[in-house]
Each structure stands twice: as C-alpha cells, then as structure tokens.
Amino acid sequence: MSKPFVFSGIQPNGDLNIGHYIGAIKNWLKLQEEYDCLYSIVDLHAITIPEKVKGKINNNIYDLLAWFLAFGLDINKSKIMLQSDNPDHPYLGWILNCFTPFGLANRMTQFKEKTSELKETISCGLFNYPILMAADVLLYDCDIVPVGEDQKQHLELARDVAQRFNSMYEPIFKLPEPLIQKNGARIKDLYHIEKKMSKSSKDEKGIIFILDSKENIYKKILKAPTDSKNSIQFNNQQPEIANLLNIYAGITDLSIKDIEAKYKNSDYKQFKEDLADIVWKFLENIQSQYHKYISDKSYLNKILDEGLAFSQAITNPKIKQVRKVLGISKT
C-alpha cells in the first residue's frame, strides 16, 4: 500500500464526448498502471445545475460506468465509486464549508462564468461546488488528482482549505497535487473554438459525442469550420486546425509533429476525412464494448458496491478523526 493514491471524478451529465476521453479518461487509464486509483462518478456535483428530466441522472450514472469499462478502466486496478453512495463526502463537504472564507470561494472563475450564463437560476450548491470537491480529495489523503486546466483553481482551493484546517487544529489532511495534462488537455468545441467541448454550449454540432453515429461523426468533422490557409500546422493563428490535430493525436497517440509531417502536402479535406475515419474506427469498437456492459446492470451494481466498500474503509476512519479533532463527537 505504498503506491501513491490517485482520485478523480467526472460528472454524470450525459454529455460524454471525445474531449472527456482525450482530456481525462485516457489519462486515468495510464495512471491505473502505476498507482492506486479511485475514480468517482460525482453525481452530487451533477445536481448543482438541476437536471429537469426525472430519472435522467440515474441513466447517466450507469452510462458513465459502462463507458469507463468500455474505455478500459480495469476494476482489478482501479476502483469506481458513486459519490452520493458515500455520505462522508457531503459530510466533510459541510465541515469544509465552515473553513472556507467566503471571499476565497467567491473568486472561483468557473462560478463567475456560470453565474453570467445562468443568471438568477444559479444555486448555492454551485457556489459550494469547489468545497465539495475539496472534500472528495481530502477524505482520501490522496497524492495526485488528475484534472483539466479548468479545475486547477478548485484544487488550489482544496489545498488552501486543508492548510487552514491543519494549522488551526492538527495536520490531518494531506495536500493533494494536481496533475494537469498538457497537450490536448482541452479539446475545444468545433464551432466555438474558444470553448471547451461540452454540452453547456447549446450547439451540438460542435461536439463529438462518444455515442454519435458514424454518419454524425463524419458530418461533424467534415463540416468543422477551419481557416482558409489550407496548411495543416499547429499554431495560434489556426486554432481550429490545432484542435483537430489535438483530436487526431489524442486518438492515435502520434505526436503533433508526426501528424504535421504526414499531412505536409495534403489539403484540409483529406486531413478531415482521415480524421473522421480514425475517430469512427476508435469509437465503433468502444461503442460495442459499451453496449455489452450497459446491458448487465447487476455487474455494474456490483462494481459500485465494491467501490463503495473500498471508499468507506478509508473515509469512515477519516471522518471519525475529523470529528474528534473538531470536538463534535461523543467522548
């Protein structure tokens, strides 16, 4: 048990797209080869923007789990838990709320962005979201937290809050290190190149969903906007092509340099056709794995049960310790 501990989470938002694979899950697959990993389906985070369709989150949870398995998360190496199954998460979340200066939470840029989008429908839960995330990681004394660039600030908050608690009472929380994937970490929306590929942009044609049909994938990639330079090079002046190169590299594991060299004399049409082929071949296989797993609900439940037992074996003693240090337990 001396391997470093890794924790990360994805929300069951039902929008799993190629960006989630390239930016997060692919990294998780690598990490499970070297570390002890616990991956969480963070449904309590997902409800911070309430889902209007009843029962949808439940489907999303099983979907996400089936996708994890389809992509190759190996439950002999990694554990997978459902955040809301373990009440220690929101329990510590509440406690940490009380140790987070309002001004610090109020500086989170993701919250500010969402506030301007959601206006008066914004919830207190969304404001407190980073603090629940802090609880997620601090419960496990984890060493490494793989996240996208957009979550870096939230992890800094987690470290900050842990430090406050530690210095006020006893050093009981380990400060987690973020692991930010560099290249290709943030696949962008094909149409809104300044935005992360995510369902929050209302336009679905810029998103390559993992469950997209062959036809849709070809259509989306072939019609993706580009500049008029017709030169396949990775640079700031050609953000659309850079994004497509990131997708290409993310799926094939070729370096950007090699892909540039390969398409030195090609036009965008050729490059896009090849990319569509590559993406579809990859997804076709993943989709058939997914269909296999999603039809076996009792197996999926067993995985979550095991994940929960594994998780509680760590968090129950941690909560006990926190209560004792705070003086809110029976003595």
Q: Exactly one of 56, 77, 174, 199 is catalytic; which is it?
A: 199
Binds ligand TRP by CB under 6 A, chosen from 5, 6, 7, 138: 7
Binds ligand TRP by CB under 6 A, chosen from 5, 6, 11, 131: 11
Q: Exactly one of 79, 114, 220, 272 is catalytic; which is it?
A: 114
Sign of the torsion formed by the C-alpha atoms of 212, 215, 218 and 222: negative
Helices (H), 253-296: 256-262, 268-294
Q: Which helix (H) or strand (E) holds 36?
A: strand 36-41
196 labelled catalytic: yes
Query: Is there binding between residue 38 and ligand TRP (CB under 6 A)?
Result: no
- Which residues make beta-bridge pairs with 147? 180
199 labelled catalytic: yes
Closest by CA position to 217, among listed 247, 239, 238 = 247
Shorter beta-carbon distance to ligand TRP: residue 11 or 287: 11
- Subset of residues 113 to 172 that bind ligand TRP, contact rule: CB under 6 A: 133, 136-137, 145, 147, 151
- List C-alpha distances in Å: 176 to 108, 140, 170, 245: 18, 10, 17, 32
Binds ligand TRP by CB under 6 A, chosen from 5, 6, 9, 71: 9
Where b means 16+ CB within 10 Å and e means fewer, 199-216 reads eeeeebebbbbbebeeee
CA distance 17 to 187: 10
Q: Exactly one of 26, 79, 188, 196 is catalytic; which is it?
A: 196
Q: Which helix (H) or strand (E) holds 168?
A: helix 152-168
229 labelled catalytic: no
- Which residues make beta-bridge pairs with 209? 17
Size of the site for ligand TRP (CB under 6 A): 12
Sign of the torsion formed by the C-alpha atoms of 315, 129, 212 and 191: negative
- List C-alpha distances in Å: 318 to 1, 13, 125, 137, 138: 17, 29, 24, 12, 9
Q: Minimal distance in Å, beta carbon 326 to ligand TRP?
A: 22
Shorter beta-carbon distance to ligand TRP: residue 9 or 14: 9
Q: Minimal distance in Å, beta carbon 8 to ligand TRP?
A: 4
Q: Minimal distance in Å, beta carbon 9 to ligand TRP?
A: 3
CA distance 283 to 214: 9
Closest by CA position to 146, among listed 119, 184, 187, 179 = 179
What type of residue is 144? I
Strands 36-41 and 144-147: unpaired
Shorter beta-carbon distance to ligand TRP: residue 129 or 234: 129
Shorter beta-carbon distance to ligand TRP: residue 200 or 233: 200
Q: Minimal distance in Å, beta carbon 271 to ligand TRP?
A: 30
Q: Minimal distance in Å, beta carbon 108 to ligand TRP?
A: 11
Cα of 284 vs its chain's centroid, Å: 22
Candidates 1-9, 185-193, 246-254, 285-293; binding stretch for ligand TRP (CB under 6 A): 1-9
Shorter beta-carbon distance to ligand TRP: residue 132 or 245: 132
Q: Minimal distance in Å, beta carbon 180 to ligand TRP?
A: 11
Q: Which residue is nearest to ligand TRP (CB)?
A: 9
Q: Minimal distance in Å, beta carbon 100 to ligand TRP?
A: 15
- Interaction site with ligand TRP (CB under 6 A): 7-9, 11, 42, 45, 133, 136-137, 145, 147, 151
Active-site positions read 114, 196, 199
